[in-house]
Structure 1
Amino acid sequence: MGKYIIKRILITIPVLLLVTIFCFGIVNLAPGDPTDLYISENATAQQKEQMRENLGLNQPLPVQYVKWLGNLLQGNLGISFSSRVAVTEVLPNKIQATLTLMLATLLLSYILAIPLGIICAKKQGGWLDTLITSFSFLGVSIPNFFFGLGLIFIFALQLKWLPTGGMTTLGQESNAIDSLKHLIMPTVVLSAFYCSNMIRYVRANMIEIFSENYMRTAKAKGLNQHLTLWRHGVKNSLVSIITVASSDIPKMLGGAVVTEQIFQWPGIGQLMISSINSRDYPVLMAINLVAALGVMLCNLLADILYAVVDPRIRY
């Protein structure tokens, strides 16, 4: 297992190199010139060229990439065009905010989805299965922005139970209760899709597992029903659950872009939108790189967990 992990880590090195090329290229080949946002419309050609030189955009793209990659290897992600602050100082707080939202989403989604999926499989075709499945299809279908605005209208504007957005209340000292109130609606919006999606996967997988011979044998031997379910049924479905979860986590970054914008959550998603509007290339490249690293780590963690939950899998 150790050799496999080392091999996977070594494989990620050329993949990361390709990711850096892609991140740099996709951002720098976008239409428009960042200097247009940071200099007067009446500026002379000489002033514009001086601004391009100040931002490091006056050299050919291959030269810019080599310099950026060299700085990256030294832990330097560059200077933000808009704030003139080092990107390494901007990102940590934003990443922490997004990770908080993603962790809350994962916990809520899977704590609800796994038991509900099992219930649907056990009550297949019944009214409870139909009800839960209908809600899961609704959760997958409803757009984040529509659901989020609906929650804001009901719970923030009409009932005034929850704040409309942000991570803390401005002008007040931050505390756990206040932070939890701000976290509820964005977490519910993000969880709607992932919880519904996981319910469908768990239901389909458990229906298949319930029809297996070893489950019939355990039942015929008179083993405790709950013990049979958790020790034999759920344990054998963990591989599928891990597969879905490892693919869901990277998708949450995409969902966070919309959700964070709706609720003004100060995370990576909101930073990405503002960076696109200001053509802040260093920040955009850093966000893309962080997202790519997250995907690779999720895939590696999933492979390791496969071997942990299923002894038949050996690398």
Structure 2
Amino acid sequence: MALYALKRLLNAIPILFGITVVIFIIIHMAPGGPLSALAEDPTIKAADIENMKKAYGLDQPLTVQYWQWISGMVRGDFGTSFLKNESVTHVIWDRLPNTLLLTVTSFILSMLIAFPIGILCALRPNSKLDQFVSGLTFTGMSIPSFFLAILLMMLFAVKLGWLPSGGLKTINAPFSMMDRIKHLIMPITTMAIVEVAIWTRYIRSSMLEVINQDYMRTAKAKGLFDSRVFTVHGLRNAMIPLATLFGLNLSGFFGGALIIETIFSIPGMGRLFTEAAFQRDYPVLFAITTIVSFLYVLGSLVADMSYAILDPRVGLSKKEGG
């Protein structure tokens, strides 16, 4: 298992390298540049702009710029933010806790809701409960997250005034845990509703497929379909495809946070990415897109390892196949 994990990590290196090349080219192909806004300012001289280009290395060929960036990234140095004139690593570490708080909390909440509901619907297929939950999940999956966020904001912040409309704390107010919770209710609920709808469908389908297997029907016919059979054989096998989906959706959590953080004005990585995109802050864009790409590759590795742990036959076949 350890050897297989090492092989997967080594195979991921050229993939990550190719991703960084594509990211670098696409960002530089975008119209304008990091200093284009300064060029339109009549108070800034052309000589000053040239000096800034030299200071940030923007006067170098793209190949040289890429090498400087990738060599620094390997050392953990993502460069200096054009917009904030700070280390990109420091800027990201300053925003990362807020994004983790939002994504991890919403994911845990969605799992606590989706798992029991999905399993219950699988145990009672086509029942009134199953039909009702199916209608809710299809509705939740069809509503865009930004539209749902705006609806919640209009209802609970504008009309009812129960919750703050954005941010993480009340301006000019001392820190309060209750105040922080109030600011997080709507963004976490928005992300959780979408995740609950998606994962309930996944869990129901996976569990229903396992329950309809011959060995499960045989156990049920013999009167052996108790909690132990359900947990050891049913739930364990149903987790195999879910582990793959979880790994592949690892980077998607941050993608969903991008929209939510922007709407609710939460100072996280998603909002930082949006600000960097509008301001052409290349180092920040490179850093965030690279981190998300790394999470996607890491998620794929986690999915494979989870698959092998849950189903020993998969691990054996992968070892034999190299």
Class of the TM-score when normalised by the shorter of the 2 chains: over 0.9
Q: Distance in 2 between matches of 1:227 and 1:169?
A: 50
Question: Which amino acid is the alignment partner of residue 256 of structure 1?
Answer: A
Deviations 1:277-313 (A, max 9, x none): 1110011000011111111221111222112222222
- Conserved 8 A contact 1:77-1:286: yes
Q: Which residue number corresponds to residue 259 of structure 1?
A: 260
- Counterparts of 1:145-160 in structure 2 under 5 Å? 145-160=146-161
Q: 1:260: how far off?
A: 0.6
Q: Which residue number corresponds to residue 184 of structure 2?
A: 183
Q: Secondary structure at the match of 1:168?
A: coil
- Conserved 8 A contact 1:109-1:195: yes
Q: Which residue number corresponds to residue 134 of structure 2?
A: 133
Q: Distance in 1 between matches of 2:166 and 2:46?
A: 43
Q: Distance in 2 between matches of 1:209 and 1:50?
A: 65
Q: 1:36: how far off?
A: 2.1
Q: Which residue number corresponds to residue 6 of structure 1?
A: 6
- Counterparts of 1:1-315 in structure 2 under 5 Å? 1-39=1-39, 41-42=41-42, 43-223=44-224, 225-314=226-315, 315=318
Gaps of 5+ in 1: none
Task: Specify whether residues 304 and 49 from structure 1 end up closer, same or farther in structure 2 by C-alpha distance, changes over 3 A only.
Answer: same
Q: Distance in 2 between matches of 1:90 and 1:254?
A: 18
Q: Distance in 2 between matches of 1:244 and 1:86?
A: 35
Q: Distance in 1 between matches of 2:136 and 2:312?
A: 35
Q: Secondary structure at the match of 1:59?
A: coil
Q: 1:234: how far off?
A: 1.3
Q: 1:39: how far off?
A: 4.7
Aligned sequence identity (%):
37
Question: Which amino acid is the alignment partner of residue 286 of structure 1?
Answer: A
Question: Which amino acid is the alignment partner of residue 189 of structure 2?
Answer: V
Q: Distance in 1 between matches of 2:120 and 2:151?
A: 29
Q: Distance in 1 between matches of 2:232 and 2:56?
A: 60
- Conserved 8 A contact 1:198-1:244: no
Question: Which amino acid is the alignment partner of residue 14 of structure 1?
Answer: P
Question: Which amino acid is the alignment partner of residue 124 of structure 1?
Answer: P
Q: Secondary structure at the match of 2:180?
A: helix
Task: Give the 4+ runs in structure 1 shifted more than 4 A.
Answer: none
Deviates more, 1:298-307 or 1:44-53: 44-53
- Conserved 8 A contact 2:206-2:242: no
Task: Specify whether residues 176 and 231 from structure 1 end up closer, same or farther in structure 2 by C-alpha distance, changes over 3 A only.
Answer: farther
Q: Distance in 2 between matches of 1:208 and 1:73?
A: 44
Q: Secondary structure at the match of 1:163?
A: coil
Task: Specify whether residues 73 and 244 from structure 1 end up closer, same or farther in structure 2 by C-alpha distance, changes over 3 A only.
Answer: closer
Q: 1:61: how far off?
A: 0.7
Q: Secondary structure at the match of 1:34?
A: coil
Q: Distance in 2 between matches of 1:169 and 1:312?
A: 54
Q: TM-score, normalised by structure 2?
A: 0.92
Question: How many residues align structurally?
Answer: 315
Gaps of 5+ in 2: none
Q: Distance in 2 between matches of 1:44 and 1:176?
A: 49
Q: Distance in 1 between matches of 2:169 and 2:51?
A: 41
Q: 1:168: how far off?
A: 2.3
Q: 1:224: how far off?
A: 5.4
Q: TM-score, normalised by structure 1?
A: 0.94
Question: Which amino acid is the alignment partner of residue 116 of structure 1?
Answer: I
Deviations 1:37-66 (A, max 9, x none): 235533554443333223321111111111
- Conserved 8 A contact 1:219-1:228: no
RMSD: 1.7
Q: Distance in 1 between matches of 2:15 and 2:306?
A: 22
